[in-house]
Amino acid sequence: METLSFQFPAGQPAKGRALVGCVGSGDLEVLLEPGQAGTLAIEVVTSVNGSAPRWQQLFERMFGEQQLPALNIAIHDFGATPGVVRLRLEQGLEELNHG
Amino acid sequence: MTTAQQQRGLHWFQALAGDAQSIPGLPASLRVADGELGGQAVRYLAVIADADNPFPRARNGEVGLLEGWGLAQAVDEAIEADRDQAHKRALIAIVDVPSQAYGRREEAYGIHQALAGAVDAYARARLAGHAVIGLLVGKAMSGAFLAHGYQANRLIALRDAGVMVHAMGKAAAARITLRSVDELEALAASVPPMAYDLDNYASLGLLAEVLNVEQVTQPTATDLSRVKDALSRTLADIAEAPRDLRNRLGAANRAASSRVREALRAQW
Amino acid sequence: MAEQNIQRLLAQRSFTELGARERARALLDAGSFRELLDPFARLMSPWLPKQGIVPQADDGVVVAKGLIDGQPAVVIAIEGAFQGGSLGEVGGAKIAGALELAVEDNKAGTPTRAVLLLETGGVRLQEANLGLAAIAEIQAAIVELRQYQPVIGLVAGPVGCFGGMSIAAGLCSYLLVTREARLGLNGPQVIEQEAGLDEYDSRDRPFIWSLTGGEQRHASSLVDGYVSDDVEAIRSELHGLFAKGKPELERSRRHAWFLERLRAVDTSVQADAAAVRSAYQGA
């Protein structure tokens, strides 16, 4: 098990919170909360050791394209594929927009 | 030899209950007798090995279908008999139970419900004002312990390597959690709730007392005297205390259990 | 006629496809759901990270207050997808603590009733003795709350209800199951390991359901209601049972009846579904 941290530039703090997913095998839960203005901070607790580069790549792809509000994102991952991670993050962001 | 084969439960029952007659009409795997302790009425209850148990998977002291419902009957009868009494007899569960019974008959006929019968009766007795003590003289494992002992106001354990509380035997637990027994034991060293030894169990704050005895399988006169004193003292404690299980909270290794309750109360 | 059937079919909502949080929300009156100790409170297992196991923010238990049919209620839902719904220290304390507060409510005149959504393998072995102790406290609280209000358990599947929590299920005022549910004390694999393949084949699914599945448990009078996997049907059943009130005698108090029936069983042969239904007829 590893704990990894990532940061990206962001805009103003998001409004509201969201939770998606579940720490089942091959899945993950994502908690999204307002963060410090200007920063999107992600903490990943993952069962897969040595996966930091994969996470970095995935986040760069997702957050490189768009500027997001400032968020603190917590991920508890139990071996999800990048496809599932992306899906959950998108679900989470969508919930934030609806909330 | 297992603790049940050593017949610890039977020996302690015989020592404590003395000449008191075992109550008839119960399964042969139960010993239940009324006695007296420091001037107070008590009912002793033990589950013992019965080689002729009609249920073949419950012949070595396991708590099975008959034992669960039988304990329910024995405890319920005490509740009924003392219903209008100002002073209700105490219930002393003498605990040496290696496990619940594992078998097809057991699952089919609803062993979960039989054990619920026992839990129900012991809990209702405690709520009605009967002092309930669990005296751990051997194994106190999983469903068997839930049914016979874990609803007690106070738990007292004898200090001995054969006195063990856990949710599942080592070999089975290792298989289910996909680890080796060695790995499990290594983890238990740093994760107290996973450990099998009495000191780690005691660190969880669930025991009222741990007693040293000379001969755990068959008490000496000194042992008997010491245990009876402890039981009497404990009955006095119980008489002054609430009837719930909150005295089990507070140990450092159970800090989260208290924090959760406080937070629930604050948000309720 | 066909039109109505189609409408009803479209309106059906599977309960078992919902996660624990959504199950709790679905059973409380619309708009009344309020979660306590939600994931953002981050009260997680102190023991799992030490073993390299990733924790879940709510430790696999959702506690939600609200109304059921207009009456104050707490719904406690176990998330079967996290560690098989097994109970550790924090999840166990959430359940026991919520039931204990419901008891306090009732003592003070507020008729808070409880629903337990049981999707659990029992004790979380990675927290063994704290899980077991918590389950004893849950059982104590059920017996105490049951004096005031019905405590209703629902086992919906796919995980089912096993271990110490199956005993808790047996303490409930009323117990509901679906066809997909299983209710039994020991997991099939453990029985097979302890007693051998001939005694219990853990890979034989029809066999396992024939003995411990929802339909069989209902046919053997070991549960009170057999519901379809549909949110409205389950809500309706709950409302009906709460309106009915406490049972005259809880199943777990019927030792005389069960002992009489068990003593008449021919234990020289193996048990089967038909024998059990026959033995427990007329409960």
How do residues B7-35 score in pLDDT, each as one tens digit?
999 999 999 999 999 999 999 999 999 99
pLDDT of B174 above 80: yes
| Complex prediction ipTM | 0.98
Q: Would B152 be classed as within a structural domain?
A: yes
pLDDT tens column, C249-281: 999 999 999 999 999 999 999 999 999 999 999
pLDDT of C9 above 80: no
Written as six digits, the tokens of B74 are: 């024995």
Nearest CA in chain C to A1: C52
Cβ C259 vs Cβ B76: under 8 Å: no
Over pLDDT 70: what percentage of chain B? 99
What residues pair up with B133 in beta bridges, in sequence order?
B92, B154
Cβ B201 vs Cβ B189: under 8 Å: no
State how many domains chain B has. Answer: 1
Q: What is chain A's pLDDT, residue by residue, as a tens digit (99 residues)?
A: 999 999 999 999 999 999 999 999 999 999 999 999 999 999 999 999 999 999 999 999 998 777 889 999 999 999 999 999 999 999 999 999 886
Cβ B145 vs Cβ C224: under 8 Å: no
pLDDT tens column, B192-207: 999 999 999 999 999 9
pLDDT tens column, C195-217: 999 999 999 999 999 999 999 99
Give the β-pairing of C61-68 and C71-78. antiparallel
Beta carbons of C40 and A78 less than 8 Å apart? no
Domain span at C130: 2-250
Instruction: Look at the pTM and tell me if it is higher than 0.90.
Output: yes
Alpha carbons B132 and B91: distance in angstroms, whole number: 5
Written as six digits, the tokens of C211 are: 């003995």
Alpha carbons B141 and B74: distance in angstroms, whole number: 21
Say what the pLDDT of residue B57 is: 97
Q: Which of C44, C110, C118, C125 to mutate to test the interface with B (most CBs of B within 10 A)?
A: C125
Say what the pLDDT of residue C195 is: 93
Alpha carbons B254 and C127: distance in angstroms, whole number: 11
Say what the pLDDT of residue B139 is: 97
pLDDT of C59 above 70: yes
Cβ B156 vs Cβ B209: under 8 Å: yes
B231 to each of A17, B32, B34, B134, C213, how far by Cα in Å?
54, 17, 15, 10, 44
Domain containing B180 — which CATH number? 3.90.226.10
Q: Would C32 be classed as within a structural domain?
A: yes
User: Rounded to 5 degrees, what angle do the CA atoms A19, A22, A24 make?
Assistant: 165
Domain containing C158 — which CATH number? 3.90.226.10
Task: For residue C164, list chain B residues with Cβ-Cβ distance below 8 A.
Answer: 142-143, 146, 167
Give the β-pairing of B40-47 and B90-97. parallel
C47 touches chain A (CB under 8 A): no
Percent composition of chain B: helix, strand, coil (DSSP 3-state, to 5): 45, 20, 35
Alpha carbons C247 and C244: distance in angstroms, whole number: 8
pLDDT of B44 above 90: yes
Domain span at B183: 8-267
How far is C25 from chain A, CA to nearest CA, in Å? 15
Say what the pLDDT of residue B76 is: 98
* A22, A31, A76 ranked by CB distance to C55: nearest: A76
Written as six digits, the tokens of C52 are: 């390299």
Cβ C76 vs Cβ C98: under 8 Å: yes
Say what the pLDDT of residue B4 is: 65
Would you give the distance in Å from CA C167 to the centre of its chain?
Answer: 10
Residue C32 buriedness (CB in 10 A; 0-12 / 13-18 / 19+) = middle
pLDDT band, residue C74 (cuts 50/70/90): very high
Alpha carbons C51 and C37: distance in angstroms, whole number: 24
**Identity of the amino acid at B97:** V
How far is A78 from chain C, CA to nearest CA, in Å? 7
Q: Would B2 be classed as within a structural domain?
A: no
Beta carbons of C55 and A23 less than 8 Å apart? yes
State how many domains chain C has. Answer: 1
Beta carbons of B204 and C130 less than 8 Å apart? yes
pLDDT band, residue C1 (cuts 50/70/90): low
Give the count of beta carbons closer than 10 Å to the beta carbon of residue C211. 23
Beta carbons of A31 and C56 less than 8 Å apart? no
Alpha carbons B111 and B109: distance in angstroms, whole number: 6
Which residue bears the tokens 């406080």? B262
